[in-house]
Structure 1
Amino acid sequence: MNESIGAPETKAHGAEIEAGHHRFMNIFETFREANDERLAQLERRMSADVVTEEKVDRLTRALDDQQRRMERLTLKSTRPQIGRDERTEAALPSEHKSAFEAYARAGDETAMRQLEAKAMSQGTGADGGFLVPEETETEIGRRLIAISPVRSVATIRTVSAAVLKKPFAISGAQTGWVGETQIRPETAAPKLAELTFATMELYAMPAATNALLDDAAVDLDQWIGEEVEQAFAAQESRAFVGGEGVNKPRGFMTYPIVDETVWNWGSVGALKTGADGGFAPGKAADRLIDLVYALKAGYRQNASFMMNRRTQAMVRKLKDADGNYLWQPPTMAGSRASLMGFPLVEAEDMPDADAKANAIVFADFKRFYLVVDRQGVRVLRDPYSAKPYVLFYTTKRVGGGVQDFDAGKVMTFSV
């Protein structure tokens, strides 16, 4: 049996990732020693030495840089090679994929239009273009899950309509205990709310040379997926966190955020740190514990923290009353860091920990946030607008919003 041509490179990536994780752990040990010294200086004389502060900051940046390198290596290891190997050649392409390749490489629409006629459906939209084959759509979706922080932990629903309407029971039906022969009293009907998630158009426009399109070794599914992944992921992530819901999904940070003591359905409950732009001295662990237990047990067991890199750098320095660090590094390459024993998801679009900022979310994101993908990714081939390049106007429809307001809580950095 012939070994796949991608195997040596896969092994090299694996060794590189392991080496990167080992270096990350070494930097973290040095950081922990320097931060312990900084905290000891604060206890002895109410201020830390400038040199020690600079060393801790330098090591914090080194940890962040090394984590970025590991993320890039991990993502690279999940990407299949653009050139086809023997296994790819052995798999016969679907009729749709073969037709799409003819359209993408040479602009031949004949087979695509025949497929439309067979399916008795219209594959072109108002702006033209064709639906990509299932292989290409799957490749794009797989890549987005790998690099989009919110999508990686949220529930994803694929629909065929432009809008998803979902009923949700705010209060359940009345229940009670009765004897075997007693009359069963009529129970009250549950109170339902209808949540509406509209899908909005997201686009990217990768460019290809004719030489690339003429190269039969290049798999266009993988090429298009790789070209649009960063553009789609960046726009999605921004919208899932802070999108206002106009021509884009609604982000969970744009719903009303109210004090947990007055929380009601339709808003997100919040707890305060006790200090503007930080935690009250000596109270960080207590405040984070309060945030964790603000969630009901059914949500808490599958919950994660979410914050950006700068907020993570702040909590990385925190200890509990017993001197244990609240933040812990990933246990293995490719896994997540943890905070208070719960996974920590890093999302750069989360706010910084400034005064009165809602900088940390703790939620069971599978139940808290819903991502809605409309079935079908459309590609319009444009060989005219940017000669000598061929543009591929790629669009997909995405929506999103909070689906269970009881499944997430926010930490507000204020008194």
Structure 2
Amino acid sequence: MTFDALRSPETKAVDGPPTSLDVVGAFDDFMRAFEAFKETNDERLAEIEQRLSPDAVTTEKLARLDEALDRQRRLVDELALKGRRPALAGAEEGARPEARERRGAFDAYVRRGDAGRYGALEAKALVAGTDAQGGYLAPDETEREIGRRLAEVSPIRAIATVRAMTGSVFRKPFATEGFASGWAAETAARAQSATPALDELAFPAMELFAMPAATQTLLDDAAVDLDQWIAEEVETAFAEQESVAFVTGDGVTRPQGFLTPAKVANSAWEWGKIGYVPTGAAGAFAASHPSDALLDLVYALRSGYRREAHFVLNRRTQAAVRKLKDADGRYLWEAPAAAGAPATLMGFPIAEAEAMPDIAENAHAIAFGDFRRGYLVADRIGVRILRDPFTAKPYVLFYTTKRVGGGVQDFDAIKTLRFAAS
């Protein structure tokens, strides 16, 4: 199959909600692109064996196919994501009277800046809102929709443990030393149980904000679903900020990322640090048997963590591992089995996170682990919205904030691949 045989390597726009035929067609294009990629890469490897270097035309063709494969994969993911999103129309049907009243007050505030109804709600229930200087809490439907969208598009949130909290810090106790245990005969003496030593991990909530803008004409249009509009507008901004923070955040003004703790060779691992496996070459995979480093990374993780493990890497690193084969000539990277499913590496799903570093000397460009057990995202309940019609006239700005914390909760559940000789 040639590159020109692909129906269209470019991302195609789909008007309106995608149909099942749209998703199936895009997925078929993706699979054709992957087959063409494998054929071309096989040609490149054969040329290296025969002439010690690949033909420039083959290399250029492979690069174009790699870009086409990435574009087609993004299209498939976008179509599958849109197809899973529920409509918010009719969300108020069957809701409690107080919920409908709050939705009505929120609608009046967003569309016209009418805060009077929110003031009345404050008199009834002190948790309904705050003063206009700090904004007002969005209705539950809006908050749920934002949370649902973030779970779908934020790569680390999608594979981590997510907890809700009402305070400013989420605290999780853990035992540094447990009770004494062992085997004993029926009548033999038992060792006295030791008192467990407890410590705690603290995950403070940091403020995340976005500021979508709208025209007054849009707000005056009664057909516009404001919940849906706000969720769509803040989705990308929140997801991009979270994606960076959950990987490399400093833990001071944003959540602590899983690459932030000190990293040590896995043979010297201890609690509070992340263990790594070296590739055997500075800034690259080893020239001989490059896939061995990935195998070492997988088995650096204990078996109890491997059952739910994911690889985490960015698209440029994924392009590099996509070319690797095992000793039997099988590609380590496999295309997803269905639209919306993740690609796999050595049988484990891949979470593509653009915040992961590129392959470079001493870079920890690939992470592998059970992120459900290894990383915690703590959401402070409540999304706050402040309407600002003055700063950017004639546009109305909506200063939207939510508070979220995060950090490693099990340092043994995540390992990294370090592109270094040792």
| TM-score, L = length of structure 1 | 0.93
Shift of 1:128: 1.9
Identity %: 56
CA 116–184 in structure 1, closer or farther in 2 if over 3 Å, else same: farther
Q: How many residues align?
A: 404
Asked whether the equivalents of residues 373 and 410 of structure 2 are also in contact (C-alpha less than 8 Å), the reply is yes
1:234 to 232, 240, 245: 240
Give how far 1:253 is off: 0.9
SS in 2 for 1:95: helix
Secondary structure of 1:156's match?
strand
Listed as ranges, the gaps of 5+ residues in structure 2 are: 1-14
Match of 2:69 in 1: 63
Pairing partner for 1:341 from 336, 342, 347: 347
Contact 1:278–1:413 (CA<8 Å) still a contact in 2? Answer: yes
* 1:141 equivalenced with 2:133 (yes/no): no
Does residue 28 (structure 1) correspond to residue 34 (structure 2)? The answer is yes
Residue by residue over 1:57-110, the C-alpha shift from the partner in whole angstroms, topping out at 9 and shown as x without a partner, is 11111111211222332333344568x4xx558555622212211211122222
2-structure distance, mates of 1:189, 1:314: 50
Matched, 1:362 2:368: yes
SS in 2 for 1:54: helix
Instruction: Give how far 1:234 is off.
Output: 0.6
Structure 1 segment 6-155 matched on structure 2, within 5 A: 9-10=16-17, 12-80=18-86, 84=89, 87=90, 90=93, 94-121=100-127, 123-124=129-130, 127-155=133-161
- Residues in 1 aligned to 2:296 and 2:61: alpha-carbon distance in whole angstroms: 32
Give, as a single letter, the amino acid of the residue that structure 2 aligns with 1:357. A
Q: Which amino acid aligns with 2:124?
A: K
Cα distance in structure 1, aligned partners of 2:102 and 2:306: 44
Separation (CA, whole Å) in 2 of partners of 1:24 and 1:109: 50
Q: Distance in 1 between matches of 2:412 and 2:182?
A: 24
Aligned to 1:264: 270
Q: Which TM-score applies when normalising by structure 2?
A: 0.91
Q: What does 1:181-330 correspond to in 2, within 5 Å?
A: 181-330=187-336
**Which structure 1 residue ranges, 5 or more long, are not aligned?**
1-7
AA of the residue aligned to 1:362: F
SS in 1 for 2:350: strand
Tell me which moved more, 143-152 or 174-183. Answer: 174-183
Contact preservation (8 Å) 2:203, 2:378: yes
Moved more, 194-203 or 164-173: 164-173
CA distance in 1, matches of 2:112, 2:65: 52
Equivalent position SS for 1:184: coil
CA contact (8 A) 1:318 1:326 kept: yes
Deviation of the 1:168 alpha carbon:
1.6
Distance in 1, matches of 2:76 and 2:419, equals: 30
Hey, what's the Cα distance between the residues in 2 that align with 1:163 and 1:24? 44
Question: Is it true that 1:390 corresponds to 2:390 in the alignment?
Answer: no
8 Å contact 2:279–2:286 — kept in the other structure? yes
Over aligned residues, Cα RMSD in angstroms?
1.9
Partner of 1:5: none
**1:212 offset after TM fit, Å?**
1.5
Change (3 A) 1:408 1:125: farther
Residues 170 and 265, structure 1, Cα contact 8 Å, conserved in 2: no
Moved more, 214-223 or 313-322: 214-223
